[in-house]
A and B are shown apart, each in its own frame.
Chain A
Amino acid sequence: MHRLMLGAVALLTGAMLAAPGSAYEGVDVADGGSISGDVKYQGDPPAPAKIVVTKDNEVCGKEKTSPDLIVGADKGIANVVVRISNIQKGKKLAPATTPPTFDQKGCEYAPHVLAFPAGSTVQILNSDGILHNVHTTSTANPSFNQAQPKFKKTIEAKIDKPEMPIKVQCDAHGWMHAWWISEDHPYYAVTDAKGAFKIADVPPGDYELELWHETLGKQTQKVSVKAKEDAKISVQMTKK
């Protein structure tokens, strides 16, 4: 009985795990539309937080601006992950031609939010020439904590399963953190410094757009995509 139940649980879990992965089907998209737009801060954005640096000042500098919330001149919010959360079918998830790179420069991560297709091998660079460590907190993928001393210019990390977000931090420099987004479909984008994004080749249909920002949380938005047309979206986010 026990074993049977375990079996059933394993089956169920298997089914549940398999569901999101198997849900997306790659096909040819001929008459795709696109979604573009921007994400803006609603109300007056708070002044960017400052971080006083008290370690490795020669490399890291004396003061940093916190990457927790970066609002541009026109109130555009950078580093918002914009993704279609309910797409079943669309263009194939092409493996990246060049692997995603993730640099540690001036004791900051660049980019602060890195999105890539699941199965990618992230090239982690250390441009600083001091000891950093790359410590991820993951659930779907195994967490790791890899030291990257001065003599290791590049290390690699393969992320097999879709997961969002994976927090990345450096334990040697408490302020250093970043986010990785591993996707099982290609319809995602990260907003630029002006808060703008674009998602192309979307098969016509009604979708749910999910927006995620590390400090502002998650928000969803309905969107209709018509063949060969651009669906314009403007979203506002604010601190809750």
Chain B
Amino acid sequence: MWTTEPSLNQKHLTCPFCGLACDDLSITPGDRGIESLDPKCDKAKQGFRLALQAVSRGPRSNGAPVSMEVALQQSVQLLKSARAPLFAGLATDVNGMRATLELADRCGGVLDHLNGDAMFRNIRVVQDNGWVACTLSEARNRADLILIIGTQCFDRFPRFVDRVLLPRESLFSPKAGRHLVMLGPWQNNRLPATLKDYAPITLHAHPSQWADVAGMLRARLGNRPVDSGRLGGQLAEGVEELARLLREAKYSVITWSAAELTFPHAELVIERWAALARDLNQTTRSSVLPLAGNQGDITSNQVCTWQTGYPLRTSLQYGYPVHDSRLFRYQDLIENNTADLLIWISSLDPEAKPPACDLPTIVFGHPGMELGQEVEVFLPVGVPGVDHTGHGYRSDTVCTLPLGQLIERGLPSAATLLRTLLDRLGD
């Protein structure tokens, strides 16, 4: 909810702690900030608890407490002397990202998100080929076959089952007629309890086989001769069955969390699955539903895209935007000494800390963030959706949810501080 009065007693709270952006929460406050959360979600409870319990130690300079004024002055000096500032982390809300972009434009900075690696596995596929995609409500109401690739979606997006896979009601695809197919190394993993009764079809395949499985399915559906036998007995049978289900489905959805695909060239695997969905549309309907949006990655990428014309991993060093998803990876810029100042913005999770490095660093951090290393300047900022209102994007890139303010404890938003720095830098 967009709120004008801070209060914990609100219904329809939006959760900023994963890309599902659930907006139906209410909090029961307790001694430790939060007694319970309805509906239940451990990840959200943890996120709200850490935010509400955090006791900010105030601005710090090289580890020592300083006044806000001193911290801002030092930040301005660092920004003024930097030739190649790197703006990374970028776990913030829309207005935090708007201010970041304005400052980066002013200072000639490079931009990357802490989830950049995962995000660009998907974006590269769009940049190379495009795809056919859908959104959460569309999958919830229409999908009669959902293929879930990997085993981590349920940990990363805890309410995915209730909200999308098996909702209580659905416009066109009742639970009873839905097929869930789960592709992953499932023999080592436990299915989420919520799925147990439902007995989804599980296919046991190592991630190194996923691309092959997609290729096999495409060939089968395109009536090209292939020998699924080389996948091995059980998996081969499963693939044959899946090919049949996909062909018969009215509307199939293929979903994954790119953060799970940590192996090299994972984008090629995603491309295969996207190609499968694309092919299916020749005769039936099918789309992909990549799960993302954690740590505000979709949010900062969307704002960057409309303000610069490119996704993240864009540099403003030349006075105009230049995009290169391989060149402007923040870890590499730090490693190669290509950057000379790190501005780390991370307001959603106290554990999302800046990487240990020798660069002078300014951190706009979650109030509960404890840094292992001392940084030049640490500025505690409010948590969007807790300390201040804001906007966050959902996984599907379409819905921007309003974030409410729950408490007032004098923590400025990242946007406010970044704009203060901009004003002080002048033209």
* A and B pair up: no
